[in-house]
Amino acid sequence: MADTWLPSLITTTPQEGFELAITLSRRGVKYTQPDMETLKKLRADYAESADGLTAASQVIAVNFQTVAAANNYWRP
């Protein structure tokens, strides 16, 4: 891991939390497959796959659960 890019899971709003969840998910893919050429080649396989898109949505949902819990579900 090259640099610190995630100082906190705390966000101001649920929308920001969801966007952070997407970022976490995308970063996870990039850490798992750091070669951009391979990553771009593989994208075609899952971009039109209902199973692949559902799996991606599940990963985002799990990350959103984590961010929401870290933010006490944005309760005052």
Write down the pLDDT at residue 30. 92
Angle (CA) 22 47 18, round 5°: 15
Q: What are 69's two structure tokens?
A: 């819990």
Which helix (H) or strand (E) is 4 found in, with range? none
The predicted model scores a pTM of 0.89
Write down the pLDDT at residue 46. 85
Write down the pLDDT at residue 65. 98
Write down the pLDDT at residue 62. 98
Write down the pLDDT at residue 2. 65
Written as one letter, the residue type at 38 is T
Number of residues assigned to the chain? 76
Q: Which residues of the chain have pLDDT under 70?
A: 1-2
